[in-house]
Structure 1
Amino acid sequence: MKVDIDLEVDVNGEGIFHVNKINSVSTAINHSSGFSQEILSSFSVRLNKLFSKASVKSTAEPLKVIFHDLTGGEEAFELVARFCYNNGRIQITPANTCILYCIAQSMEMTEEISSSPSLIKQAEKSLEGMSYWSWPEILTALKQCQDSYSVSNTLGILDRVLDSLVARITTASDTSPSGSSPEASGYRISFDTKSSLSTKNSYQRAWWFEDLVILNNETMKKLVNKLVSQRVEHVTISRYLFYYLKCKCSDPTSEHKREVIETVIDLLYPLNRYSVSCKALFDVLRLSNSQSLSICCRDRLENMIGSQIDQVTLDSLLISSPARADSLYDVNLFLRILRHFLDSEGRTTFARLKKVGALLDLYMAEVAPDSCLKSSKFVALATALPDVARDSHDAVYRAIDMYLEVHNRLSEEEKLKICSGINYKKLSPEACKHLAQNSKFPSRTAVRALLYQQSKIKSLLQESSCLKSMDGQRRVSSDEEQIVLYAKKLDPSVENEKLKAHLQGMQWRVMELEKACRKMQNQMAKMMKNKTSNSVISRSLPKLCS
């Protein structure tokens, strides 16, 4: 039997619905029910206006309606059609509430046109019972809202679903991998050992992490903002963000990596810095190397790392340089991170500064053998931190020694600039002796090191000559004694004549100081002979003068 078609509806190019005059419908995908053009328009203001404007000149040709980007697509339109044919009745469940609410709003299915309860009102009543929905039902509703993000966000239904979701997260126990949720059968507990992510503290998963990886960027941002507003621990939030990023970027064909990375960085930035794993931030940094992040976003990432750089190890810092760069490691990156560390107001304590100083010494030793590393970059490393960051400059000297060993064609001026990073006052006697005999260093640096050692010896001897009282003197410590003995044994066999003269002059002055000390000893001995036998026994003289 031939069926007369009076309406043809194309929904988003997904399917075509054929409506006939005898109250039946069929689609290109083999759905069928019984409703007509008049029935559809009796429940929808939008359809009523659309059909009333259309004038069908020939009954032989059906009216054609094309919907572009109709909320909910083919599935939603069929639900609306069935609602209309059943005289305004349909079974509304958590599985279809959101999609029905959105399509009803889009099609203007209000009580303005129908005396029976509108689809909007019925869907609204179902939404009011959302607090009783199971976790899987909330996830289904969330997915529907996400698929129709623009409409669901505008209508506020997405916020309502997310609020319900966050309420479950904040009330459910998250303390035990096997702990039950308010609806144990509905929740998917995500603690397992299958994923390598679970072995890293940074990505330790809460029970809800895996379920919410399905979110797109916009929905995920709204979720995180709600978690923050509900005072969920920042540690938990940061771990979710790292887990989300890892899952989203594991697909090498993903075209949205940069967008995901930037979104995660922007959401991590306002969190408490000590709740965000610095090691995990370095993972993000490595992941972003192949992406062209915005300058602002990259600066935020480096700022977060810099504010807690004292918490990492050398391995984290050894990041390869970008393509076509001269050096092996990205020294410029490390210098920027150091600047952020120094700029972190109120957080750069003396103890933290010492840790970063030790870390920088290790880094310099690691990059020094790189034959492509420019001297200007090495100088920048050596002078990056204030002097108080180091008690000793022996490690700086060793790193510079390695650098000069590899870069043996530097000019005298370049070598002097590199050596400007050494504080000669903080070199040990052994390092000074090594420097004095090191032909790789400019002669002026060797002389300067010896001069500082000379002044140190002179200061010690001056201290040793001061008597605490008429019958005693302060002891010279064993460390000071070793410095003096070392000064007497310095090897003057250095090629540079000026350096030889300095060494000889220094030894001569040490001998003069020793003569003065012996003279003081003789004077003290005479004083002691004049004392009575019951005098208090005098204290021993400094070992230097014995």
Structure 2
Amino acid sequence: MDVFCDLEVDVNGEEVFMVDKNIISCYSGRIKRLLGKSKGGTGNLKVIFHDFPGGGEGFELTTRFCYSKGKIEINPLNVSLLHCIAIFMEMSESFSGVQNLFEQTDKSFEDIKYWTWSELLAALKQCKELLPAVTSSGLLHRCVDSLVGRLALAGEASPCPSTSSPDSSGLRLSTDTRSTESLRNNFRATWWFEDLVSLNPPLVKMLTKSMVWRKFDHGVIVRFLLYYQKSRFVTAGVDDKCKIIETVVEMLYSLDHSAVSCKSLFGILRVALNLNIKKCCRTILENMIGLQLDQATLDNLLVPSPVAMDHIYDVNLVLRFTRSFLGTGFCRVPLIRVQKVANLMDSYIAEVSPDPSLKPSKFCSLVRAIPDLARESFDGIYHAMDMYLESHAELSIEEKKRICCMLNYEKLSAECCKHLAHNSNFPSSASVEALASHQKKFKSLLEDTNQPKPSIDSPYSSVATENKGKTEESCEQIVLYAGRLDISDENEKLRANLQGMQCRVLELEKVCKKMQNQMAKMLKSRLSGQSNARSLPRLCS
């Protein structure tokens, strides 16, 4: 058969091939269809392809197949490319009794279960270069399922003896049997990480979904995703880093959240802060952190504020964390977890309170982010509030009052009440509230001491004596606070309230002294009674 070069083929603008149109059209339905539409002529015809699979290399394989009368070596290294070419060039018609290219490649994939690990990996890497053609043909899913299936069958042992042999030097570092076994198990679970690092994000997403479907250990999947992100970031550009982060976050979100540590999520967040990732991805990452906020540390929360904001730290980010944590409702979260977050938030508020750019409204939002019921004590909030008022001395009295309204005086210790009573940073109304709360606690303490008197041998007698001492001390403190309090700037109503409190304190002092005398007489009579009992002889039974 004479060979003519009467057809010019431009492949993706990369290379130009001169081929025999009759030979190529015998095997390619697409070329035959294009030539049928041409009007013909004496000159050469030209065909231009813009998205030919494999570019010039792919078209060269096509011509080799056609000029060899439908014969070509098909192996795991080129089967993916040839299969995509067969679909693109519509090579599904048989010629001279020889199977067409589509049938030959499809038959080769039937033997995929016999391929080695290296062959499977090579085929998958080739698919990476053929997206999205391999996706539409279903070829990519077959490669991914086969690769993950091989991992599932391998179990704890690697299909590559050279990388998973128990006799390798990496497993002989420890003479401790338990340490060696732990290292061996860890190595067996992660030996394939390095092999899959070169895959692009879409393929990693498909692999992860397949692993989840096959019920892989979520902890191992998490470790792979984190390893993938760290390894790829070494050489990736800015755009590629965004795609990698978005893929990793999306896949982590699909896993059991308990398998993803809070520390790892904060590590991803700090990297993502410098990238322009999608808003939905950022929201997912923040929600995942928020759900584990009770596991965070103060250092985790001290995230620098974006450039456009004046705050030293990103306060809005922490507020979003708390909303995610309590998103399901305060009553549905175990109290011990909420209390951990409350303690963490108290430390965070104390850390950011000296920031001169922190507005009163934002400070109040931080305090209100956690319900009062979650705080066993408000001492931490008081100290943070003291620092904030000291750093923002320019605030008006009304602004200071709004801030002090968030204090739960009933949960302030006696030490904090004592400090607040003569703290010039706080408005006088706050000092009055502190005194009122302290008086209420004093009344409660007095009621405890007014319970039925215990016997002299009772262990509670020491408690009563101790309460008596506390009562005396409380009376002296309240009178002392009232004497030191300066309310010259307050109205007459506050002055009248304070005078009334002083009168009530004096009355309570009288009652307290009267109770002390009664208790002393009772103790004396009990002691004399026991002394007389000891002097009497024992009666015989």
The alignment yields a C-alpha RMSD, in angstroms, of 3.2
Match in the other structure for 2:70: 88
Aligned residue type for 2:513 = K
Matched, 1:76 2:55: no
Quote the Cα distance in structure 2 between the aligned partners of 1:479 and 1:331: 45
Q: Secondary structure at the match of 2:197?
A: helix
The sequence identity of aligned pairs, in percent, is 43
Aligned residue type for 1:493 = R
Quote the Cα distance in structure 1 between the aligned partners of 2:529 and 2:470: 35
Quote the Cα distance in structure 1 between the aligned partners of 2:32 and 2:163: 42
Higher mean C-alpha displacement, 165-174 vs 120-129: 165-174
Quote the Cα distance in structure 1 between the aligned partners of 2:299 and 2:274: 20
Quote the Cα distance in structure 1 between the aligned partners of 2:226 and 2:88: 37
1:138-287 matches, cutoff 5 A: 138-173=120-155, 181-185=158-162, 206-250=190-234, 253-287=237-271
User: Conserved in 1, the CA contact under 8 Å of 2:297 and 2:344?
Assistant: yes
Report Cα offsets for 1:465-500 as digits up to 9, x if no partner.
221568888533687456434324423333336497
Match in the other structure for 2:513: 515
User: Conserved in 2, the CA contact under 8 Å of 1:368 and 1:402?
Assistant: yes
Q: CA deviation at 1:9?
A: 1.5
- CA gap of 1:429–1:532, structure 2 versus 1, over 3 A, is closer
Q: Secondary structure at the match of 1:327?
A: coil
Q: CA deviation at 1:523?
A: 5.9
Higher mean C-alpha displacement, 363-372 vs 266-275: 266-275
Q: Secondary structure at the match of 2:309?
A: coil
Aligned pair count? 500
Quote the Cα distance in structure 1 between the aligned partners of 2:82 and 2:327: 53
Quote the Cα distance in structure 2 between the aligned partners of 1:511 and 1:299: 59
Quote the Cα distance in structure 2 between the aligned partners of 1:145 and 1:252: 20
Match in the other structure for 1:398: 383
- CA gap of 1:478–1:116, structure 2 versus 1, over 3 A, is farther
Match in the other structure for 2:473: 486
Q: Secondary structure at the match of 1:42?
A: helix
Quote the Cα distance in structure 2 between the aligned partners of 1:213 and 1:485: 73
- CA gap of 1:514–1:147, structure 2 versus 1, over 3 A, is same
Report Cα offsets for 1:478-535 as digits up to 9, x if no partner.
8745643432442333333649757754652442132221342366368659969776
Q: CA deviation at 1:331?
A: 0.8
- CA gap of 1:68–1:508, structure 2 versus 1, over 3 A, is same
Match in the other structure for 2:16: 16
Q: CA deviation at 1:377?
A: 0.9
Quote the Cα distance in structure 2 between the aligned partners of 1:225 and 1:522: 79
Match in the other structure for 1:136: 118
Quote the Cα distance in structure 2 between the aligned partners of 1:495 and 1:216: 71
Of Structure 1 and Structure 2, the greater helix share is in: 2
- CA gap of 1:525–1:163, structure 2 versus 1, over 3 A, is closer
Q: Secondary structure at the match of 2:511?
A: helix
Quote the Cα distance in structure 2 between the aligned partners of 1:145 and 1:462: 81
Quote the Cα distance in structure 1 between the aligned partners of 2:22 and 2:450: 116
Q: CA deviation at 1:397?
A: 0.9
1:359-370 matches, cutoff 5 A: 359-370=344-355
Quote the Cα distance in structure 2 between the aligned partners of 1:437 and 1:478: 30
| Unpaired stretches in structure 1, ≥5 consecutive residues | 20-35, 175-179, 193-203, 538-546
Q: Secondary structure at the match of 1:10?
A: strand
User: Conserved in 1, the CA contact under 8 Å of 2:289 and 2:321?
Assistant: yes
User: Conserved in 1, the CA contact under 8 Å of 2:29 and 2:91?
Assistant: yes
Q: Secondary structure at the match of 1:343?
A: coil
- CA gap of 1:167–1:66, structure 2 versus 1, over 3 A, is same
Quote the Cα distance in structure 1 between the aligned partners of 2:115 and 2:423: 78
Quote the Cα distance in structure 1 between the aligned partners of 2:470 and 2:454: 25
Aligned residue type for 1:140 = A
Q: CA deviation at 1:373?
A: 0.5
Quote the Cα distance in structure 2 between the aligned partners of 1:187 and 1:148: 31
Quote the Cα distance in structure 1 between the aligned partners of 2:15 and 2:36: 24
1:458-477 matches, cutoff 5 A: 458-468=443-453, 474-475=460-461, 476=463
Report Cα offsets for 1:79-116 as digits up to 9, x if no partner.
12112222221111110111111111222222444521
Provide TM-score, normalisation by structure 2.
0.84
- CA gap of 1:496–1:483, structure 2 versus 1, over 3 A, is farther
User: Conserved in 2, the CA contact under 8 Å of 1:142 and 1:162?
Assistant: yes
1:378-393 matches, cutoff 5 A: 378-393=363-378
- CA gap of 1:95–1:478, structure 2 versus 1, over 3 A, is farther
Match in the other structure for 2:179: none
| Counterpart among 432, 439, 448 of residue 433 in structure 2 | 448
- CA gap of 1:92–1:294, structure 2 versus 1, over 3 A, is closer
Matched, 1:355 2:340: yes
Q: CA deviation at 1:53?
A: 3.9
| Counterpart among 50, 75, 79 of residue 34 in structure 2 | 50
Match in the other structure for 1:496: 487
Aligned residue type for 1:264 = V
- CA gap of 1:470–1:432, structure 2 versus 1, over 3 A, is same
Q: Secondary structure at the match of 1:255?
A: helix
Match in the other structure for 1:424: 409
Quote the Cα distance in structure 2 between the aligned partners of 1:477 and 1:18: 109
- CA gap of 1:528–1:139, structure 2 versus 1, over 3 A, is closer
Aligned residue type for 1:516 = K
Quote the Cα distance in structure 2 between the aligned partners of 1:72 and 1:495: 87
Match in the other structure for 1:7: 7
Q: CA deviation at 1:41?
A: 2.0
| Unpaired stretches in structure 2, ≥5 consecutive residues | 172-187, 489-494, 536-541
Provide TM-score, normalisation by structure 1.
0.83
- CA gap of 1:534–1:414, structure 2 versus 1, over 3 A, is same
Quote the Cα distance in structure 1 between the aligned partners of 2:160 and 2:457: 84
- CA gap of 1:87–1:385, structure 2 versus 1, over 3 A, is same
Aligned residue type for 1:487 = S
User: Conserved in 1, the CA contact under 8 Å of 2:354 and 2:387?
Assistant: yes
